[in-house]
Amino acid sequence: MTNKIILAGFGGQGILFLGKKLATAGMDKDLNVTWLPSYGPEQRGGTCNCSVILSDTDISSPIIGSPDTLVAFNIQSYDKFMPRITPGGRLFADSTLIDKRSDRNDIESFFVPATQMANDLGSPKLVNVIMLGFVIKHTGLFDRDYIRGVLTDSLPASKAALREANGRAFDAGYGYEG
Amino acid sequence: MAKVLIKGNEAVAEAAIRSGCRYYFGYPITPQTEIAEYMAKKMPTVGGLCLQAESEVAAINMVYGAAASGVRVMTSSSSPGISLKSEGVSYIVGCDLPCVILNVQRGGPGLGGIQPAQSDYYQATKALGHGDMHLFVLAPSSVQEMAQLTADAFGIADKYRMPVLILADGALGQMMEPVDFDALHFTPEPEKPWAANGHGGKRKKNIHTSLFLKPEELESNILERAKKYEQVDKNEIRYENYLCDDADIVIVSFGITARISKAAVNEARARGIKAGLLRPITLSPFPSPELLRLADTASAFLSVELNMGQMVNDVRLAVQCRRPVEFFGRTGGSLPSSEDVLEQIIKISGGLK
């Protein structure tokens, strides 16, 4: 079983962090994983994406031509990567920033107002964590409690408030009923 | 220790420190700056030195001096910065000193771009510096291998007293994969009686120079070094043979493109096309004997590179023109997809029938 995931959005939305959590979760489950970022003169507000592959067999190429899962955080990423999703694949998109709806009927589309929800929680920075909960709910890539633990354990115990906020954002994404 | 998820650049830095490298001299350039960052953080904690020089030229000359004193030392840069180091590299070769140099290649010529490339193949394998010289060139293709080949590079550099260049690219430097550092094997540092590290009046002075004004002296110096290169050719060639032995089409590819090519080989096999991948791990010495052996059984070769066709000529020399050798590549920072490579395989296999 191989999962090819592209995460894409603006710099500052926590795209690379989110990808790293997925890759770490896979590694700790003894899967083969690769994490390949776009890199360049990127900065907050610029575009940013990363490719994560999780597989129980060897991963030859870390480069993803056609993702089976796309997580899009802005309209530019949606326009660029949505047409490339493998038939039968899944699209996850932040409906606060993406007002388009795909006319592809060969993929499953899931929308969540992640930016709006993060603002409601009082921390716009948590948009990626809300999305993580939402993606896990609909993909079952990892067990809910396991990946929630990977997320919160990556924060130092001294930052209990941050752990708690991240856990809450994850739960909000996981619990979202569109 | 469990595996850690780490960038290729960071894996090189950690492996270098574990190999006993205590001196790093560099100058920042994308896409390899994480190495300097990692070294700056870690070196002071192990009693080592990380120094950001005023330029690449200064950094390589600091490596030259440190190497002459007998310590394990390295520098790293990306393509334009490596060009700047070439004069110093030639002096280090001229003095037969060991050191490790990493090139995390980006597109060129000139400042070029910052995305992955393999366009410094000629520079690395033919002439990274003036004079009658070679470097030992290693080409990793995973993050674990970035770490292992760094460890190996220090051993090889000490064994043959020559600079070892690790030729990586922006993708390998920037990507993260799990690395098991406890699985690395290291070569202990040998005694270095030639080190210029203070004789205390008790032994003869060790002098390292690349200046030989008498032609016969310089010639004999070069001939001595050529014997070393013969030993390297004889003992140190490394490659990965993936499904080549029954292959009609053998892809030759290194580094990140070898991984893309491997995916294409698997897809070709699934379609009933007998493809294989010969991945040079040492680019200099080049695995020519293995390629010549495969010319007996393969019908065609395809060199896949991130440039306009450089290694392809070494493949042609290796197979002595006994089989057609095709080229496929992207350049300037673009990467081919495995589908692109598969298309080439199908094209060649159609032509074979």
pLDDT in tens, chain B (353 residues): 589 999 999 999 999 999 999 999 999 999 999 999 999 999 999 999 999 999 999 999 999 999 999 999 999 999 999 999 999 999 999 999 999 999 999 999 999 999 999 999 999 999 899 999 999 999 999 999 999 999 999 999 999 999 999 999 999 999 999 999 999 999 999 999 999 999 999 999 999 999 999 999 999 999 999 999 999 999 999 999 999 999 999 999 999 999 999 999 999 999 999 999 999 999 999 999 999 999 999 999 999 999 999 999 999 999 999 999 999 999 999 999 999 999 999 999 986 65
Cβ contact B338–A60 (<8 Å): yes
User: Which tens digit of pLDDT belongs to each residue from A47-63?
Assistant: 899 999 999 999 999 99
Are residue B217 and residue B75 in the same domain, yes or no?
yes
The CATH number linked to B286 is 3.40.50.920
pLDDT of residue B352: 62
Interface of B with A (CB under 8 A): 2-3, 5, 30-31, 114-115, 170-171, 174-178, 256, 259-260, 262-263, 266, 335, 337-339
Are residue B174 and residue B224 in the same domain, yes or no?
yes
Q: Which residue among A20, A28, A60 sits closest to B263, beta carbon to beta carbon?
A: A60
pLDDT of residue B1: 57
Indicate the DSSP class of residue B247.
Answer: -
Are residue B44 and residue B181 in the same domain, yes or no?
yes
Tell me if B193 is assigned to some domain.
no
pLDDT of residue A44: 67
Domain span at B330: 240-352
Residue of B nearest to A22 (CA): B5
Tell me if B196 is assigned to some domain.
no
Tell me if B68 is assigned to some domain.
yes
What mean pLDDT comes out for the span A36-44? 77
User: Which tens digit of pLDDT belongs to each residue from A98-117?
Assistant: 999 988 999 999 999 999 99
Question: And the tokens for B222?
Answer: 């070069």
The CATH number linked to B17 is 3.40.50.970
Determine contact, residues B32/B5, Cβ cutoff 8 Å: no
The CATH number linked to A160 is 3.40.920.10
Tell me if B199 is assigned to some domain.
no
Cβ contact B177–A61 (<8 Å): no
Tell me if B198 is assigned to some domain.
no
Cβ contact B176–A63 (<8 Å): no
Tell me if B226 is assigned to some domain.
yes
Contacts of B168 in chain A (CB under 8 A): none
Tell me if B326 is assigned to some domain.
yes
Are residue B126 and residue B228 in the same domain, yes or no?
yes
- Measure Cα distances from B231 to A67, B95, B159, B237 in Å: 47, 18, 11, 10
Measured between alpha carbons, how far is B146 from B156 in angstroms, rounded to an integer? 15
* End-to-end CA gap in chain A: 28
Contacts 24+ apart (CB under 8 A), A158-167: A165/A121, A165/A123, A165/A126, A166/A126, A166/A129
Are residue B125 and residue B31 in the same domain, yes or no?
yes
Indicate the DSSP class of residue B186.
Answer: -
Indicate the DSSP class of residue B272.
Answer: T
Are residue B268 and residue B177 in the same domain, yes or no?
no
Are residue B224 and residue B123 in the same domain, yes or no?
yes
Taking the model in full, what pTM does it have?
Answer: 0.95
- The three-class DSSP label of residue B106 is strand
Domain span at A130: 2-175
Q: To which residue do tokens 């290291």 refer?
A: B186
Determine contact, residues A1/A55, Cβ cutoff 8 Å: yes
- Split into its structural domains, chain A has a count of 1
Cβ contact A35–B259 (<8 Å): no
Determine contact, residues B165/B101, Cβ cutoff 8 Å: yes
Q: Which residue among A28, A60, A65 sits closest to B339, beta carbon to beta carbon?
A: A65
Are residue B230 and residue B114 in the same domain, yes or no?
yes
Interface mutation vs chain A, best among B175, B240, B257, B342, most A CBs within 10 Å: B175
Are residue B214 and residue B253 in the same domain, yes or no?
no
Contacts of B177 in chain A (CB under 8 A): 33-35, 62
Determine contact, residues A129/A166, Cβ cutoff 8 Å: yes
Contacts of A35 in chain B (CB under 8 A): 5, 175-177
Size of interface A-B (CB pairs under 8 A): 60
- The three-class DSSP label of residue B280 is strand
Cβ contact B337–A35 (<8 Å): no
- Split into its structural domains, chain B has a count of 2
Are residue B226 and residue B253 in the same domain, yes or no?
no
Q: Which residue among B5, B263, B338 sits closest to A24, beta carbon to beta carbon?
A: B5
Cβ contacts of residue B65 below 8 Å, gap of 6+?
none
Are residue B271 and residue B180 in the same domain, yes or no?
no
Tell me if B300 is assigned to some domain.
yes
Question: Please, which pLDDT band fits residue A39 given cuts at 50, 70 and 90?
Answer: confident
Are residue B140 and residue B281 in the same domain, yes or no?
no
Q: What angle do CA B251, B253, B256 make, to 5 degrees?
A: 135
Nearest to B253 by CA among B292, B289, B291: B291
